[in-house]
């Protein structure tokens, strides 16, 4: 299943309807996500404050709540950054800065980062399979965001652990980044929908927190590099995401 979806002209009726639907999804989705996260963050802050007012202070319980407050603050920051990135990619053409990038090295760096990320548990085996340099001209910042989103999702939606593998190869004049997990998978009738903003698989809600922007961001990064994001997935067996990128940057007049 591919993320490619021709964008109709915004001036046409279908294009105008699509733009309106996306705008409404962003407003509603972001407002609801921010409301829930802020309410949770506020609640933990109030609990910490109440604990500190106790005499004597229950240090162990207070530290436990402070740790949870810190985690919620981290999640809230990640939500804001994801929303800003998604909004930027949706309504503005980003000023890409194509430069020589070794995609294999970038993938290896991302895997190293996620070895100690909160999404990874002791039950996860995380590997980078990138034996040879894959050189091309891309925007390193945005590609880093895309790879990070794929790795984060693979870990989050593999609640029982298992292997998560990132592979980087050259294939038919393109670079191919593949992220494979053995997690919950995505139902077949929902696979085309998960690239839309604020959309998550029906089986994802009870597994891990999220707002449904990671795959949208990745698909837009692929689009702006004239690339493509594809998914193959089987419920209860896992998912494979493939990010295909041309080795040369898009032409300014394309």
User: Are 116 and 68 in the same domain?
Assistant: no
* 87 and 176 assigned to the same domain: no
**What stretches in the chain show pLDDT beneath 50?**
5-13, 252-254
Residue 234 falls inside a structural domain: yes
Q: Give the Cα separation of 137 and 146 in Å (integer).
A: 16
pLDDT in tens, 191-221: 988 988 777 888 887 777 677 788 988 998 9
Rounded to two decimals, the pTM is 0.72
Tokens of 201: 């698989």
Q: What is the pLDDT of residue 249?
A: 57
66 within 8 A of 197, measured Cβ to Cβ? no
Question: Which ranges constitute the DSSP H helices of the chain?
Answer: 13-53, 59-91, 103-114, 140-156, 214-224
Provide the CATH number for the domain around residue 222: 3.30.565.10
Last residue of a domain, one of 91, 109, 137: 91
For residue 235, being part of any structural domain is answered with yes
User: Which pLDDT belongs to residue 15?
Assistant: 58
* Residues 74 and 115 occupy one common structural domain: no
Q: Which of 185, 186, 168 is nearest to 177 (CA)?
A: 168
Long-range contacts of 113-121 (CB under 8 A, 24+ apart): 113/148, 114/148, 114/151, 114/152, 114/155, 117/152, 117/155, 118/71, 118/74, 119/152, 119/155, 119/156, 119/208, 120/155, 121/155, 121/161
Tell me how far the alpha carbon of residue 180 is from its chain's centroid.
14
- What's residue 7's pLDDT? 42
Whole domain around residue 58: which residue ranges? Answer: 13-91
Q: Are 220 and 90 in contact (CB under 8 A)?
A: yes
Number of domains in the chain: 2
Shared-domain flag, residues 184 and 222? yes
Exposure of 20 by Cβ count < 10 A (0-12 exposed, 13-18 middle, 19+ buried)? Answer: exposed
Question: Are residues 123 and 80 part of one domain?
Answer: no
């Amino acid at each position: 299943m591919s993320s490619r979806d021709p964008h109709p002209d915004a001036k046409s009726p279908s294009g105008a309807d699509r733009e309106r639907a996306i705008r409404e999804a962003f407003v509603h989705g972001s407002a609801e996500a921010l409301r829930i996260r802020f309410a949770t963050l506020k609640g933990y802050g109030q609990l910490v404050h109440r604990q500190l007012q106790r005499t004597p202070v229950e240090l162990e319980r207070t530290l436990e709540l402070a740790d949870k407050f810190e985690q919620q603050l981290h999640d809230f920051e990640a939500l804001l950054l994801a929303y800003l990135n998604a909004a930027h990619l949706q309504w503005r053409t980003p000023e890409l800065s194509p430069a020589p990038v070794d995609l294999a090295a970038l993938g290896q760096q991302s895997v190293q980062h996620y070895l100690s990320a909160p999404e990874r548990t002791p039950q996860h085996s995380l590997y980078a399979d990138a034996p040879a340099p894959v050189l091309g001209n891309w925007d390193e910042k945005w590609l880093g965001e895309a790879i990070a989103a794929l790795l984060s999702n693979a870990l989050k939606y593999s609640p029982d652990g298992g292997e998560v593998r990132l592979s980087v190869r050259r294939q038919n004049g393109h670079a191919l980044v593949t992220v494979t997990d053995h997690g919950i998978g995505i139902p077949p009738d929902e696979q085309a929908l998960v690239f839309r903003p604020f959309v998550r698989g029906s089986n994802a809600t009870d597994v891990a927190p999220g707002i449904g922007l990671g795959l949208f961001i990745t698909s837009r990064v692929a689009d702006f590099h004239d690339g493509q994001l594809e998914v193959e997935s089987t419920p209860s067996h896992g998912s494979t995401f493939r990010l295909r990128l041309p080795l040369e940057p898009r032409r300014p007049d394309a």
